[in-house]
Amino acid sequence: MVQVDLSQLSQECNAWREQLRNYREEFTQDENKIRQVAGKPLSKDQLQEVEHLHNQFHIQLINIHDLKQAIKIHERSLHTAPSEEILSKHESLLEEYRSLELTLTALRSEFSGFLDKTA
């Protein structure tokens, strides 16, 4: 039987959710910044990039919310599910979290580059 340290898993869940809250705040602010940029005179290509970035912020904010909810549900199940199931779900959520972080980092970089070009 697999031995699971529930307190460690719970701490990891809390850390992930806290970081996701930070990402949500950052990308909500970035979404507001892109709206401000959209009000400036821009070329057709820049306007397309604004639309792309705005869509990406919207999509990623949904992804952040969905993952945060999945982590919350997982954390609630830590004391009721079998150990093997808990570990499997935890590892799956960790993969989702890492993948989302990579996506968010790339979007952050893309947005920063766009701001540099339009400043």
Q: Per the structure block, which two tokens stand in for 41? A: 């005179």
- pTM for this one? 0.92
pLDDT tens figures, 27-68: 999 999 999 999 999 999 999 999 999 999 999 999 999 999
pLDDT tens figures, 59-95: 999 999 999 999 999 999 988 877 888 999 999 999 9
Q: Per the structure block, which two tokens stand in for 18? A: 């806290």
Q: Per the structure block, which two tokens stand in for 35? A: 């709206």
d(CA 107, CA 100): 10
User: CA angle, 69 as apex, 5 and 63 as ends, to 5°?
Assistant: 120
Distances (CA, A) of 64 to 20, 70, 103: 6, 10, 11
pLDDT at 79: 81
User: CA angle, 1 as apex, 67 and 85 as ends, to 5°?
Assistant: 20
